[in-house]
Amino acid sequence: MLQLPRHELHKKLVGRANPMRIQLEITRRCNLDCVHCIQGGCSDIAGEMTAADYERLLPRMSAAGVFSVSLTGGEFLCHPEIHDILGLLLRSDFWLALQTNGTLLDQDTVDFLARHREKIRAVAVSLYGATAQAHESVTRSPGSFEKTIRAIDMLSEAGFRVEVISLLMTMNQDEATQIQELCRKRGLFHQFNSIIAPRKDGEKSSLECRLPEELLKKLPRPWETFSENFIPHEPDDFAPDKTLDAWCTMARTSGYIDSRGNLLPCSIMDLPAGNVKERPFDELWHDSAVFNALRKLKIGQFECSRCGHFPTCRPCPGLAFLEHGNMFEAPKEICRIIELFLGDKEVKQA
Amino acid sequence: MGEIIFKKNGSLIERRIDGEAILLDIKSGVYYDLKDVGVFIWEILTDGSTARKIAAAVAENFDADAETALADTLELLNDLEAEGLIVRVAEV
Ligand code: SF4
């Protein structure tokens, strides 16, 4: 049989620490001002990667074995050289995914992208409400709702798989059903989320927008996906002496390159392997002491390994790192949410 | 009846990882894996070729007799075509 199921491919590649999927934070600039944004410092663009930097980087990523590239930001369309960068990416042999707020997409850009539609797996668009009032209470940008809806419709018409992602928080939680309906009518893939993380610079005021339990319970299902077993596994893969191969893909098969060129294990774990402007991607990926140390961590080092909900709950170590400054701690926000699904935590007997 | 020239389907992303060819068909999102002789045949298909020519190259490079090489080549070409990984581009 020639077909290789995804989980088998993952197992094959994870053992070799072969990068498969890289997220590119094209820019931290953004034209909106969302309440929950974890970036902070969107105007700080010193050292931003240029089209010339990407021209050097992309062939190294391809040669290292990367298949999929996701573009994110900020809003990636705010990069001043975005058309050159998109041209480079579309001429390269990657399977692309785009994450956007949609407001800067015009018909010309959609037509340009549509000429390469086969190479673009999906376009994820953030939508926070089914009305301008609700959506803009999050984006704090008048007119953004109309532009985002127009982008969703242009993309759908051009034949893209549009994935609508809605973060629900105190100011828009009562829109959940209407957002679902809006997506159902348009035949769009749709996913809710409710995890609000502190900003990368440590600022925590957005945490006040987290939904209390009584509201979380009322949200239409499914509204979270992090407890799904996205990598099929054997129970033994989660024994305390095992590495995180079956749990988390960071620095194993996936990584993140921030807008300045720092290669990170994931979008929220600020532990750079080095900078791709200074050293080739593949050398950083394989030789970095930080990445190699992450690859050696054992499940038993993590507080979650002693919880009765693990590994049904397979929480994000990055979130613990961002919120508690320590990836080994249980991410309390995930505990709070998972307990709504699965009941109180039981501590595993040693 | 002439011979068919087969060529790789254009919607594939392929990577060479530890001697194996890992292919991703971006139309379906399905991954494929070729090893050993499969990788050798896959290389030849880059420029397009016929079953007979491929089998001759296999026999020469893998120390196989002509009959076995042709049978193995036809089997792989059948599988590749059934999965849509190669297409028929001409008949010579
Ligand atoms: S419920 Fe909390 S402690 Fe238990 S596995 Fe999930 S995040 Fe970790």
> What burial class does residue A276 get, using C-beta atoms within 10 Å of its C-beta: 0-12 exposed, 13-18 middle, 19+ buried?
buried
Instruction: Please give the average per-residue pLDDT across A171-185, as a whole number.
Output: 93
- Any ligand 1 atom below 6 A from CB of A331: yes
pLDDT at A234: 79
pLDDT digits (tens, 9 = 90+) for B30-89: 999 999 999 999 999 999 999 999 999 999 999 999 999 999 999 999 999 999 999 999
Q: A230 pLDDT exceeds 70?
A: no
**CB distance A65–B29 less than 8 Å?**
no
Instruction: Please give the average per-residue pLDDT across A254-270, as a whole number.
Output: 96
pLDDT range class, residue A45, cuts 50, 70, 90: confident
Which chain B residue has its CA at the smallest distance from A95's CA?
Answer: B26
Instruction: Give the Å distances, CA to CA, from A165 to A84, A168, A190, A271.
Output: 27, 10, 6, 27
Give every CB contact of residue A266 below 8 A, 6+ residues apart in sequence. A23, A250, A251, A254, A255, A256, A318
Radius of gyration of chain B (CA): 13
Q: How far is CA A248 from the centre of its chain?
A: 13
Question: By alpha-carbon position, which residue is closest to atom 7 of ligand 1?
Answer: A335
Q: Compute the distance between CA of residue B62 and CA of residue B56 in angstroms, rounded to an integer.
A: 10
pLDDT digits (tens, 9 = 90+) for A89-115: 999 999 999 999 999 999 999 999 999
In contact, A289 and A299? CB cutoff 8 Å: no
Instruction: Please give the average per-residue pLDDT across A249-261, as a whole number.
Output: 96
Q: Do β-strands B30-34 and B86-91 pair in parallel, antiparallel, or remain unpaired?
A: unpaired
Give every CB contact of residue A289 below 8 A, 6+ residues apart in sequence. none
Distance from B68 to chain A by nearest Cα, in Å? 19
Q: A229 pLDDT exceeds 50?
A: no
C-beta neighbour count of A215 within 10 angstroms: 16
In contact, A194 and A168? CB cutoff 8 Å: yes
- Average pLDDT over all residues of chain A: 91
Residue A165: strand pairing partners: A126, A191
Q: What is the residue-wise DSSP string for A83-115?
A: HHHHHHHHHSS-EEEEEE-STT--HHHHHHHHT
Question: Which DSSP letter does residue A309 get?
Answer: T
Q: How far is CA A210 from the centre of its chain?
A: 19
Instruction: Please give the average per-residue pLDDT across A233-248, as a whole number.
Output: 90
Amino acid at A239: A
Question: By alpha-carbon position, which residue is closest to atom 3 of ligand 1?
Answer: A304
Q: Compute the distance between CA of residue B64 and CA of residue A312 in angstroms, rounded to an integer.
A: 50
Residues of B in contact with A163 (CB under 8 A): none
pLDDT at A235: 78
**CB distance B15–A94 less than 8 Å?**
no
pLDDT digits (tens, 9 = 90+) for A27-44: 999 999 898 988 876 777
Q: How far is CA A67 from the centre of its chain?
A: 17
pLDDT digits (tens, 9 = 90+) for B13-35: 999 998 999 999 999 999 999 99
Atom of ligand 1 nearest to the CA of A320: 7
- Percentages helix, strand, coil for chain A (3-state, rounded to 5) are 40, 15, 45
Q: A1 pLDDT exceeds 70?
A: no
Which chain A residue has its CA at the smallest distance from B11's CA?
Answer: A118
pLDDT at A216: 87
pLDDT range class, residue A171, cuts 50, 70, 90: very high
CB pairs under 8 A between A and B: 48
Q: Compute the distance between CA of residue A54 and CA of residue A91 in angstroms, rounded to an integer.
A: 12
Instruction: Please give the average per-residue pLDDT across A239-258, as a whole number.
Output: 94
Q: Compute the distance between CA of residue A194 and CA of residue A189 in angstroms, rounded to an integer.
A: 17
Q: Do β-strands A68-72 and B30-34 pair in parallel, antiparallel, or remain unpaired?
A: unpaired
Instruction: Please give the average per-residue pLDDT across A211-234, as a whole number.
Output: 69
ipTM, interface predicted TM-score of the complex = 0.88
Determine the residue among B17, B36, B39, B41 to mutate to test chain A binding: the one whose Cβ has the most chain A Cβ atoms within 10 Å: B17
Q: A226 pLDDT exceeds 50?
A: no
Q: Which of A8-17, A145-154, B14-23 has the highest mean pLDDT?
A: A145-154
Extended beta strands in chain A, E state? 3-4, 21-25, 68-72, 95-100, 120-126, 162-167, 189-193, 254-257, 262-264, 274-275
Instruction: Please give the average per-residue pLDDT across A219-228, as a whole number.
Output: 58
Residue B4: strand pairing partners: B91
Give every CB contact of residue A343 below 8 A, 6+ residues apart in sequence. none
Q: How far is the CA of B31 from the centre of ligand 1 (A)?
A: 33
Residue with tokens 């595993």: A348
